Amino acid sequence: MKIRKIETFKVQPRWCFLKITTESGITGWGEPVIEGKADTVETAVHEMADYIIGKSAENIEDIFQTLYRGAFYRGGPILSSAMSGIDQALWDIKGKAHQMPVYDFFGGPVKDKMRVYCWIGGDRPADTAWAAMEKYEQGYSAVKMNATPEIAWIDNYKVVEDVLERVGSIRDKLGYKMDIALDFHGRVHKGMAKVLMKELEQFHPMFVEEPVLCENEEAFRELKSCTSIPIATGERNFTRWGFKSMITGGGVDIIQPDLSHAGGISEVRRIAAMAEAYDIAVAPHCPLGPVALASCLQLDFCTQNAFIQEQSLGIHYNEGSDLLDYLVDKSVFEYQDGYVLRPKLPGLGIEVNEEKVRKMAENWKAWRNPVWRTQDGNVAEW
C-alpha cells in the first residue's frame, strides 16, 4: 500500500485539505494548516512529500519519525502542522484499509459520546447572553467566548467590568444550565489576568483559556496559585517536547493540543498520555474544518482524560463556508443534548465531498488575522 500521490486544496474560509492516494487506490484526508499561513504550510507539505512518496502508508510511526528527525530542523507551527495533516491522512487510509475506526487502533473506545462546545460573541465579544440562549435552545450545554477585545498591559477597570457584565448576563439568563469557558486568547498580560481571574471566580467558569501567552510559562504557575478557576492552554504548543514542561510545571489543569498543529493523531495521543500521568485533562483545540474535527473525535473516543471538544460550526471565522459544507453525509457530526455520538465508519469516520473541495479550491482567497492596536498605537495581542 505505497503512497502514490499527495494533493493539497486551500479552501474557504481559511482551511487547507490534504489528500493522499495509495497505489492500491485507497485515499486518506488530512487538514494541515496554520490559520493565516495556509500557503506556507502547503509548501512544507509538498517538501515533505519527497520523503514519503513510494513509502508504505501503513508505516505511520516510521513516517512520523522520518519527517520529524530526518530533516534536522524540526518543530514549530509550520513544520508540525504539515506533519499533522499527513499523519491524519495516513490514519484515515489505515482505517479504511482495515475497515476500522482510528480509535480501534488505540485499544478501542472508552466512551459512547463526547461533549462539545461552540463559540459565541465574536472576536470583540458582544450580545453574549442572547447568543448563549440561542445555543442552549439548539441543545448545547457549554459555550466559549473571547473574554476581551484588545487590551493594554495594564488597563482601565472598565475593561474588567465589561467582562463581568458579559459573563454575568449569561449566568442571569441560564444559571448553571450552561457552562461558560473564557478565552483570554493570550491578549491579556499577567497584571490584568490576575485581576480578571479573581473577579470571574464568582461566576464559576468551566475554564479560562490562554490567560497569558504560552511562552510566559512561569506566569501560569503564579496564576494557578491565586485562582480556583481551571486553567487551559496548548493551542500554540507543538509536539510532546513543546508540551513537556507545560505538563510537568504545575501551572495548568487542561491542555488543548490542536491535531492540525501539534503533530497529528499520533503525537497528540502521546501528549494526552503524558497529561494523564499528571492528572491533567485534555480538550483538543479545533476552530478548523471537518477533517480536523473528525481527527479530534477519533482521539477523544479512545482517550480517558479528554472531556470536551471544541468545534467550529457557526464560528465567527467561517465566512463563505462552514464545517459541514465539505462532507457528503452532513449528519455525521449530529449533536444531541450537547454531545456527539461515537463515529462508526472506518478511518476518520467521514466522507469528504471531493467535488466540492476541488470547486472551492478554484476560488481561494487568503485569510489573514487582523492586526490590533491599543489607544496609544501599541500593537496589541490578537
Find residue 56's DSSP bridge partners.
Answer: 2
15-22 and 3-11 beta bridge pairing: antiparallel
Which member of 98, 261, 285, 316 is catalytic?
285
Catalytic residue status for 316: no
Q: Are 117 and 142 in contact (CB under 8 A)?
A: yes
Which member of 98, 185, 204, 316 is catalytic?
185
Burial per residue of 226-239, b for 16 or more beta-carbon CB atoms within 10 angstroms, e otherwise: ebebbbbbbbbbbb
- Counting every residue written for the chain, the total comes to 382
Q: Which three cell numbers, joined as nine digits, stand for 339?
A: 454531545
Identify the burial level of 93 via C-beta atoms within 10 angstroms of its C-beta, where 0-12 means exposed, 13-18 middle and 19 or more buried. buried
CB half-sphere exposure, 158, CA atoms < 13 A = 1
Q: Are 302 and 106 in contact (CB under 8 A)?
A: yes
Cα(103)–Cα(15) distance, rounded to whole angstroms?
24
Identify the burial level of 295 via C-beta atoms within 10 angstroms of its C-beta, where 0-12 means exposed, 13-18 middle and 19 or more buried. buried
Catalytic residue status for 285: yes
Q: Which three cell numbers, joined as nine digits, stand for 352?
A: 469528504
Which is nearest to 193 in space by CA: 174, 216, 166, 173? Answer: 216
Residues tagged active-site: 185, 285
